Structure formats: structure tokens, C-alpha cells
Amino acid sequence: MSCIALVDYGMGNLHSARKALEHAGGRVELVSTPEALLQAERIVLPGVGAFRDCMAALKADGMDEALLTRLQQGVPFLGICLGMQVLLDVSQEFGQFQGLGHIPGSVKPLPEDLPSLGYKIPHMGWNDLAFAKDREVHPVLEPLVGEQVYFVHSYYCAPENPAHMLAACSYGSFPFAAAIGLDHVVAVQFHPEKSQRAGLAMLERFVHWMPD
């Protein structure tokens, strides 16, 4: 089994993510240098906090370029929460900031009228996932069909290409991307490490996933 490089850039819930991946059967190594990333056989990018700070931390040591190189080389990759958002082109959080640009799209704030409709921001707690009926569920996400997962976020991903949307969620009547993907890349807005049995089952799928 290949070792999972859990990216340590000074942000993110590394302890919980590591424990969950190990519980799911993965061999995990914390990686904090571009050189180590370039040797990684499987990558998980976790994240909590601000998009701007995340990208600044990745760029400070050249981790952003190393990530892009490995993404382009086809390494299996899982992005979690902020680790999903930085895959896109740009974020509107606290200004406008460039992301990795691996998947075309932008990161936008949840609608500001949600609280007036009875839905607090951030969106926090358990919620359902919706999968398109006219396409197969992504193999990493199959264990989540019919399950709820745990969200904590104030911003959401808006991919340009609908084909990159792997799963959706609705907060009130507002739909947003709960999971996106492209080839060997899958990324989720929710926290699998906080999503109990269903989240662990998803992580186990990622641990053993062999993209075409």
C-alpha cells in the first residue's frame, strides 16, 4: 500500500485527519517540504481557516508548485474543506485571491440573506448529499449514498464545468458543490474525519482507490 502524504502547511486539522486516515487503513506521513511532496504517491490536503492564508503558506515554501506538479502527474489526491477550495482559480474570501487553478471555478460566500431565512452562517452540522441520477457515483464517494456528512463552512465552490461536480448539498433552498473532482482528484467541502462511520468508509475508499 502506498503511503499517504498529509500536507502540513501550518493550517488544517492534521491530528483528526491523520487519525481518521490511519483508522481507515492508511499509512500516513506528515509532509511539509516541496521535496517530500514531489515523492508522494498519494496526497491529502486538509484545511481550516482562510483561503488567503492557506495560499500564502503554500507559496512561502514552494509547496504550491510541488502540488501542481503532482496533480498534473496523476497522483491520487483528496482535498478536504479548504483543501478543496484552493484547487479552484480564485476565491472571494476577504478580497480576491488566486488559487491553484487545477479545476476551473471560483469560491464564493454563502448568500448573505440565509440568516434572515433561518439558516445561520457558517453552515455547520450534518446535511444530506445529492448525487446526479444520470451518472455513476464516484467510487470514493459511493459509501456516502444515503448518508449525512458534517459541514463547517461560510464559502462554497462554484466549478465552471458541471462535469466536475461530483455531489451537491442544499443549505435551505441554496444548492452548492459538496464534492468536486477531475480524473485522479477528488475533493469534498465536508469533513470526512468528523462524519463518523460514513466518513471513515469514504476515507477507506480513497486509501485503496486506483484511478484509471
Q: Which one is catalytic: 54, 153, 157, 193?
A: 193
Known catalytic membership, residue 3: no
- Rg (alpha carbons) of the chain, rounded to whole number: 16
Q: Which one is catalytic: 54, 123, 191, 204?
A: 191
Neighbours of 156 (CB within 10 A): 23
Question: Residue 131 in contact with residue 138, Cβ under 8 Å?
Answer: no
Q: Which one is catalytic: 54, 81, 157, 169?
A: 81
Known catalytic membership, residue 191: yes
DSSP the chain: -PPEEEE-SS-S-HHHHHHHHHHTT--EEEE-SHHHHTT-SSEEE---S-HHHHHHHHHHTTHHHHHHHHHHTT--EEEETHHHHTTSSEE-TTS-EE---SS-EEEEEPPTTTGGGT--SSEEEEEE-B--TTSPPPTTTGGGTT-EEEEEESEEEEESSGGGEEEEEEETTEEEEEEEEETTEEEESS-GGGSHHHHHHHHHHHHH----
Neighbours of 75 (CB within 10 A): 20
For the annotated catalytic residues, the residue numbers are: 81, 191, 193
